């Protein structure tokens, strides 16, 4: 009889672990989006700077 109880406990532990991992993924996704925005800003600055340099020359 204790087999199904152990199985139920394992399922509950796995459910908690999946929920925790989903929260971690959400945080990572937010971080990746922030980094992507920064890279786009840097690319824009570099592009603007290179075009400005060509106009000044």
What are the tens digits of pLDDT across the range 1-55? 569 999 999 999 999 999 999 999 999 999 999 999 999 999 999 999 988 887 7
pLDDT, position 4? 93
pLDDT, position 1? 55
pLDDT, position 51? 86
Q: CA-to-CA distance for 45 and 29, rounded, in angstroms? A: 25
DSSP states along 4-48: HHHHHHHHHHHHHHHHHHHHHHHHHHHHHHHHHHHHHHHHHHHHH
């Amino acid at each position: 009889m204790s087999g199904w109880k152990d199985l139920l406990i394992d399922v509950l532990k796995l459910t908690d672990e999946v929920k925790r991992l989903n929260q971690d993924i959400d945080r990572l996704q937010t971080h990746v989006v922030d980094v992507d925005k920064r890279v786009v800003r840097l690319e824009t600055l570099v592009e603007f700077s290179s075009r400005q340099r060509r106009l000044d020359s």
